[in-house]
Structure 1
């Protein structure tokens, strides 16, 4: 799994218990999944279709740095399935896992469209 994004937990990210609000973390994950998919499929028209069970394993507090990791589980005809882990950057303790996030590739008409991809590509390889 590759960890691409880091977020600093600030006061506005906290719940009444003084820990990271789960909804804020899920918003960060949804955005990261969309960006990851956009880069993989080379299309800005991406939507989240499904998130499987969300497993909160620990919490984060103000000042912690959370990093988000994504890895491709499957390439579908019009979709990309991703696994996600959020962890504490300093301690490497897992905060949350999601085994399946399905992102759908859309055409200009807003309908699912085949993307033609079958494996992970890195931008540096596209430029070579």
Structure 2
């Protein structure tokens, strides 16, 4: 798995308990996953179709730096499946794991359309 982006945990990213708010990190994952898939396919016009269980393993606190990692699992005819892990940059503790996030490439008519990619891009 390659870790593509980092985030500094700031006060606005915290929940009432003073730890990383799940909604914030899920928003970052969604954005990073869409960027990753667009780069893998070499084209946009994708939508998130499915996401497996989100496993909140640990948390982060103000001042922590986290990394968001993505890895391609498989390619379908019009879909791509990736997995994601968010971890603490320095101690490498896993914060969140998502085993499958499925994206579908759409044609101009808004319906699934073959993307023509079968191997991960760098």
Task: Output the TM-score relative to the length of structure 2.
Answer: 0.97
Q: In structure 1, how many angstroms separate the alpha carbons of the residues matched to 2:28 and 2:121? A: 23
In structure 1, the residue matched to 2:97 is 97
In the alignment, what sits opposite 1:69?
69
Which runs of 5 or more residues in structure 1 are unaligned?
Answer: 123-128
Give the Cα separation in 1 of the matches to 2:66 and 2:104: 26
Q: How many residues align?
A: 122
1:14 aligned onto 2:32: no
**Residue matched to 2:57:** 57
Look up the match of 1:25.
Answer: 25
CA distance in 2, matches of 1:9, 1:48: 26
Deviation at 1:110, TM superposition (A): 1.6
Distance of 1:38 and 1:106 partners within structure 2: 12
- What residue ranges of structure 2 are gaps of 5+ in the alignment? none
Aligned position for 2:116: 116
Moved over 2 A (4+): none
Query: Match of 1:125?
Result: none
Q: Within 2, Cα distance between the matches of 1:13 and 1:116?
A: 38
CA RMSD of aligned residues (A): 0.7
